[in-house]
């Protein structure tokens, strides 16, 4: 269903009414199909989601080969062998890994063989070198009987032809890259990492290389969101700072769409006289602005300019961060076709009481500890939405439901983990 008015079923929110976090996210995700697949070398596909199932055309191993350094033998020849009662065989030759010309194993003979070398014709098993000793010149003593197939890697033991190895939707891990190489798949169709353009809006902002004049501040959101985008699996592009000016914003949005799968702007989404983001997105495309029942991060803007989804997040750094976590990170994952859209969660017990506003879902910065097999969550002492150090000290966001206004020491909370996944 479209999040935009006039498309699909109309949604009634009373003026000034709040929309829930889950509803807002659902509207946005409903508007974001996964990106079209591209073909990449397997070396470049780590962490990306397969857009096709992978089958093998080939067997792995494709030929029978030795699992050990030792001697390739016929089972009947070594049937009576024991530790103190060896059988002596003539060494007919040697097969190394990679060999193509193979000496056959005939009655009464053995062929020295290395790990990975093809099993020579006539051989039925391999006796490891540890179970042999030197015999008379050109002969080897075998101190162990063998069953057919001992220490032999059979054809197709790992992969059989036509076997489905990886389903579409699977996220590629290092072991998958190894398997793809082994079966001769050099390229795969995957969903690309979304290109995410980040724009910081505000007359007060200066780039971080610059010393701010009185009344101005450095752009903290731009670099922070770049890091968040990267952590979410996207490719961040900085579009720098744009002034609180409709024309400048219009140009900044418009000129950055060509290379963006997603655009994020921070600042300028509140009700202030210079908050133009909603209006500018609306002029260029479609937009929806909502007050979301959340703290921090109540004012939220989502739109589409052409085909590009656009987020407008509130400018306070902690509000930007939490909004990213709740809405943008899932969007970036959805564009990648990923199933793990949400952060992992744990249940933890509070070490300090917290209070929260009524009718708003509150995300409290907490520090987690493992004590006696349980998680505890210590809320940071300052929860102001401008206080970045409280976020730096936190490793999770405790999720306080809308209807809860106070929690005591020892109460359980769900904590979203701010970890790399």
Query: Which residues of the shown chain bind Mg ion in the complex (CB under 5 A)?
Result: 202, 267-268
Which of the listed partners (Mg ion, ligand AMP, none) does 219 bind, with a CB threshold of 5 to 8 Å by partner kind?
ligand AMP
Nearer to ligand AMP, 299 or 330 (CB): 299
Residues 6+ apart with CB under 8 A from 219: 200, 202, 205, 206, 207, 208, 241
Nearer to ligand AMP, 206 or 341 (CB): 206
- The Cα–Cα gap between 310 and 22 comes to 19
Nearer to ligand AMP, 77 or 275 (CB): 275
CA neighbours closer than 13 Å in the CB half-sphere of residue 91: 18
What SS3 state is found at 284? Answer: helix
Give phi and psi for 329, each to the nearest 5: -60, -50
- The Cα–Cα gap between 198 and 224 comes to 10
Nearer to ligand AMP, 226 or 314 (CB): 314
What SS3 state is found at 349? Answer: strand
Which of the listed partners (Mg ion, ligand AMP, none) does 220 bind, with a CB threshold of 5 to 8 Å by partner kind?
ligand AMP
Q: How far apart, in Å, are the Cα atoms of 196 and each of 5, 310, 328, 332?
A: 25, 10, 10, 9
- The Cα–Cα gap between 129 and 141 comes to 10
Binding site residues, ligand AMP, CB under 6 A = 200, 202, 204-205, 217, 219-222, 266-270, 272, 314-317
With contact defined as beta carbons under 8 Å apart, do 223 and 236 qualify? Answer: no
The distance of closest approach from Cβ of residue 234 to ligand AMP in the complex, given in angstroms and rounded to an integer, is 18
Residues in the chain: 421
With contact defined as beta carbons under 8 Å apart, do 417 and 397 qualify? Answer: no
- The Cα–Cα gap between 327 and 303 comes to 13
Give phi and psi for 129, each to the nearest 5: -60, -30
Nearer to ligand AMP, 86 or 315 (CB): 315
- The Cα–Cα gap between 129 and 135 comes to 13
Residues 6+ apart with CB under 8 A from 195: 234, 235, 237, 259, 260, 261, 262
Q: Which residue number is nearest to ligand AMP in terms of Cβ?
A: 315
The distance of closest approach from Cβ of residue 204 to ligand AMP in the complex, given in angstroms and rounded to an integer, is 5
- The Cα–Cα gap between 94 and 92 comes to 7
The distance of closest approach from Cβ of residue 359 to Mg ion in the complex, given in angstroms and rounded to an integer, is 26
Nearer to ligand AMP, 194 or 267 (CB): 267
The distance of closest approach from Cβ of residue 316 to ligand AMP in the complex, given in angstroms and rounded to an integer, is 4
The distance of closest approach from Cβ of residue 394 to ligand AMP in the complex, given in angstroms and rounded to an integer, is 18
Nearer to ligand AMP, 48 or 225 (CB): 225
Nearer to ligand AMP, 26 or 204 (CB): 204
Nearer to Mg ion, 175 or 271 (CB): 271
Token pair listed for 418 = 């701010």
The distance of closest approach from Cβ of residue 269 to Mg ion in the complex, given in angstroms and rounded to an integer, is 8
The distance of closest approach from Cβ of residue 256 to Mg ion in the complex, given in angstroms and rounded to an integer, is 19
The distance of closest approach from Cβ of residue 285 to ligand AMP in the complex, given in angstroms and rounded to an integer, is 21
Which of the listed partners (ligand AMP, Mg ion, none) does 297 bind, with a CB threshold of 5 to 8 Å by partner kind?
none
Order the strands of the 38-41 sheet from edge to edge.
Answer: 38-41, 187-191, 49-50
With contact defined as beta carbons under 8 Å apart, do 416 and 326 qualify? Answer: no
The distance of closest approach from Cβ of residue 362 to ligand AMP in the complex, given in angstroms and rounded to an integer, is 19
């Amino acid at each position: 269903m479209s999040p935009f008015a006039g498309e699909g079923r109309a949604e009634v929110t009373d003026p000034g009414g709040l929309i829930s976090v889950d509803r807002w996210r659902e509207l946005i995700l409903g508007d974001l199909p996964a990106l079209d697949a591209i073909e990449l070398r397997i070396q470049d596909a780590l962490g990306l989601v397969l857009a096709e199932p992978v089958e093998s055309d080939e067997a792995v191993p494709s030929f029978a080969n030795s699992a050990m350094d030792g001697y390739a033998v016929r089972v009947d020849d070594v049937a009576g062998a024991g530790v103190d009662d060896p059988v002596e065989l003539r060494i007919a030759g040697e097969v190394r890994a990679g060999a193509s010309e193979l000496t056959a194993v005939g009655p009464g003979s053995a062929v020295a063989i290395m790990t990975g070398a093809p099993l020579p014709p006539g051989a039925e098993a391999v006796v490891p070198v540890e179970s042999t000793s030197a015999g008379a010149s050109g002969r080897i003593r075998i101190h162990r009987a063998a069953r057919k197939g001992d220490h032999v890697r059979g054809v197709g033991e790992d992969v059989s032809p036509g076997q489905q190895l990886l389903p579409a939707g699977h996220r590629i891990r290092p072991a998958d890259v190894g398997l793809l190489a082994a079966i001769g798949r050099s390229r795969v169709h995957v969903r690309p990492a979304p290109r995410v353009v980040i724009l910081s809006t505000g007359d007060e902002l200066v780039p971080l290389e610059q010393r701010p004049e009185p009344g101005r501040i450095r752009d903290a959101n731009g670099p922070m969101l770049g890091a968040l985008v990267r952590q979410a699996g996207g490719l961040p592009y900085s579009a720098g700072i744009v002034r609180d000016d409709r024309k400048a914003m219009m140009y900044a949005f418009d000129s950055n769409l060509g290379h963006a799968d997603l655009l994020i702007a921070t600042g300028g989404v509140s009700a202030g006289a210079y908050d133009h983001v909603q209006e500018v997105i609306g002029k260029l495309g479609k937009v929806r602005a909502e007050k979301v029942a959340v703290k921090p991060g109540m004012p939220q803007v989502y739109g589409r300019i052409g085909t590009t989804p656009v987020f407008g997040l509130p400018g306070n750094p902690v509000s930007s961060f939490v909004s990213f976590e709740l809405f943008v990170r899932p969007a970036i994952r959805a564009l990648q076709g990923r199933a793990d859209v949400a952060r992992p969660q744990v249940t933890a017990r509070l070490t300090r009481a917290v209070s929260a506003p009524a009718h708003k879902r509150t995300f409290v910065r907490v520090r987690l500890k493992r004590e006696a097999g349980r998680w505890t969550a210590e809320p940071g002492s300052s929860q102001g939405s401008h206080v970045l150090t409280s976020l730096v000290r936190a490793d999770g966001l405790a999720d306080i439901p809308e209807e809860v206004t106070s929690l005591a020491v020892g109460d359980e909370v769900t904590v979203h983990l701010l970890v790399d996944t």
